[in-house]
Amino acid sequence: MNITRENVDALNAVVKVDIAKEDYNDKVEKILTDYRKTANIPGFRKGHVPMGMVKKQYGKAVLVDEVNKLLQDALNKYLTEEKLDVLGQPLPKTQDEIDWEADGFSFEFELGLAPEFDVNLKSKKAITHYNIIADDKMIDEQIERIQKQYGKLVSQDVVVKDSEITGVYTNEEKEIDNKVTLTLDKFKGKATAKQFIGAKVGDVVTLKTKGLYDDEHELMHALKLGHDDVHGLDIEVNFEITEINQRELADLDQELFDKLFGPKAVTSVTELKAKIKEDAEKQFLQQSDQKLLNDVTEYLVENTKFDLPAEFLTKWMQTAGEKDMDLDQAKDEYEKSEKSLRYQLIEGKLIEDNDIKVTMDDIKNHSREMIKAQMAQFGQMNPSDKELDDIAARVLSNQEEARRISEQLVSQKLLSVYKEKANIKVKELSYEKFVKEVYGDK
């Protein structure tokens, strides 16, 4: 067997594989001999079928199968030994009908080669890494939410601004009859809330469904209708008040602290505020890091310049998916996936340059920590090593989950590289200001 390569250019090559008769003949003869021993052909005893008849019936199929196996094995071995970084898979070149009676065969494959390039993390303009803090306003609001959540309901005679109102939505035509509990801040318009102020049990408030809530899902829940039924719904509904309550704030005492964090973990309002701040900023750090990861990724894709074997990849995409595509469909698919492909190559280069590795021990340890954190949310604070190992083993038996965790760890290690080597400036601000600056939202 002989394998040669001709480089068309820096991104494309053609590999030619010449297979001689001595490369496959012994294997083909052995298979046909085994067939002869077991062949069931009318008129002949098993094991006594003439070899010529066996070859006539099975010879070509066996030959084709063995040559294809030999071809694939040889090509894969060649690509590995030559350390060729190929994109997609080798594509067989179209050739005239093969003469399977010949003593040897030649096959040609097109290769798309990965480009050579360097990655520069030092952007001219610094990329912002946000240090999001939980300010006093946020902490005080969170404490008030906790006090309301754990507070007592006190019956009221009339509706006031912060009442919890229970009642029934009705509309005879649409067969709406649904009991709900609501607060006035859930309504989209202030005028709607004003209709309730001063109302008593037994009063009926008539409301228009159009624009009643910010989100149609809220309307679905309130009226107990399907998504299609509430889409564009513009009718009047009646809301009959059956109960009015006001939530009395829970005392900030040891009993509440123990309910929230366990016995004696927090013993004062000062410690409560510190704990809320710490927990909130842990969550903010995850959000901030993800924003940094996204921003550096975008910078790298936009500023790391290299060519791709676009024509080859387009051709490869025609047959690479579950369904074959025509040329126009493949071109569209290539345009959609080009940015993702570029980042995969950049990421691979960064992983290689920075010697980033994820071991099975890394994956197991990360799984254990995830499981431990989840168990803590349900009050299981001290699981045994055996429990963690058993659950982690079940989780990692799912290859898709193991792959997801591995990718997560790679992202974490890349993030550490970015923090160390990229041109980054740190900006400290509250969560409210972060949302406004990054998302332009309220």
| Identity of residue 286 | Q
Predicted local confidence at residue 312, as pLDDT:
96
In this structure, are strands 236-248 and 164-171 parallel, antiparallel, or unpaired?
A: antiparallel
Contacts 24+ apart (CB under 8 A), 377-381: 381/262
Cα distance between residue 403 and residue 224, in whole Å: 40
210-215 mean pLDDT: 89
**Contact of 89 with 319, CB cutoff 8 Å:** no
Stretch(es) of the chain classified as CATH 3.30.70.1050:
2-113
pLDDT higher than threshold 70 for residue 441: no
In this structure, are strands 2-7 and 12-20 parallel, antiparallel, or unpaired?
A: antiparallel
What does the block give as tokens for 84?
A: 């060729």
Stretch(es) of the chain classified as CATH 3.10.50:
152-248
Nearest of 143, 118, 113, 146 to residue 11 by alpha carbon:
113
Cα distance between residue 95 and residue 333, in whole Å: 27
| CB proximity list for 391: less than 8 A, separation 6 or greater | 371
What does the block give as tokens for 297?
A: 């990724």
Least confident segment among 123-127, 314-318, 379-383: 379-383
pLDDT tens, position by position, 254-308: 999 999 888 999 999 999 999 999 999 999 999 999 999 999 999 999 999 999 9
Cα distance between residue 27 and residue 32, in whole Å: 9
359-367 mean pLDDT: 94
Predicted local confidence at residue 125, as pLDDT:
93
Query: How big is the CA angle at 140 (ends 135 and 143), to the nearest 5 degrees?
Result: 130
130-136 mean pLDDT: 96
Query: How big is the CA angle at 354 (ends 350 and 356), to the nearest 5 degrees?
Result: 90
The dihedral sign for the CA sequence 313, 317, 319, 322: positive
**Helix, strand, coil shares of the chain as percentages rounded to 5?**
50, 20, 30
pLDDT higher than threshold 90 for residue 197: yes
| CB proximity list for 438: less than 8 A, separation 6 or greater | 130, 291
**Contact of 388 with 371, CB cutoff 8 Å:** yes
Give the confidence band of 231 by pLDDT, cuts at 50, 70, 90: confident
Considering the entire predicted model, what is its pTM?
A: 0.74
pLDDT higher than threshold 70 for residue 190: yes
User: What percent of the chain lies above the pLDDT cut of 90?
Assistant: 80
pLDDT higher than threshold 70 for residue 401: yes
Predicted local confidence at residue 166, as pLDDT:
97
What class does CATH assign to 2-113? alpha beta
In this structure, are strands 424-430 and 127-133 parallel, antiparallel, or unpaired?
A: parallel
106: left (phi over 0), alpha (psi -120 to 50) or beta: beta
| CB proximity list for 331: less than 8 A, separation 6 or greater | 314
195-203 mean pLDDT: 96
Cα distance between residue 184 and residue 191, in whole Å: 10
Coil, helix or strand at residue 369: helix
The dihedral sign for the CA sequence 170, 174, 179, 180: negative
Cα distance between residue 7 and residue 113, in whole Å: 10
The CATH label, of 1.10.286, 3.40.50, 3.10.50, 3.90.550, for the domain at 152-248 is: 3.10.50
**Contact of 248 with 154, CB cutoff 8 Å:** yes
pLDDT tens, position by position, 26-76: 999 999 998 888 877 777 777 778 888 888 888 999 999 999 999 999 999
Coil, helix or strand at residue 122: coil
What does the block give as tokens for 375?
A: 């168990």
Cα distance between residue 229 and residue 77, in whole Å: 60
Between 377 and 396, the more confident residue is 396
User: What percent of the chain lies above the pLDDT cut of 70?
Assistant: 99
Cα distance between residue 149 and residue 67, in whole Å: 72
Nearest of 391, 345, 384 to residue 364 by alpha carbon:
391
10 Å CB burial of residue 431 (0-12, 13-18, 19+) is: buried
412-419 mean pLDDT: 96
pLDDT higher than threshold 70 for residue 442: no
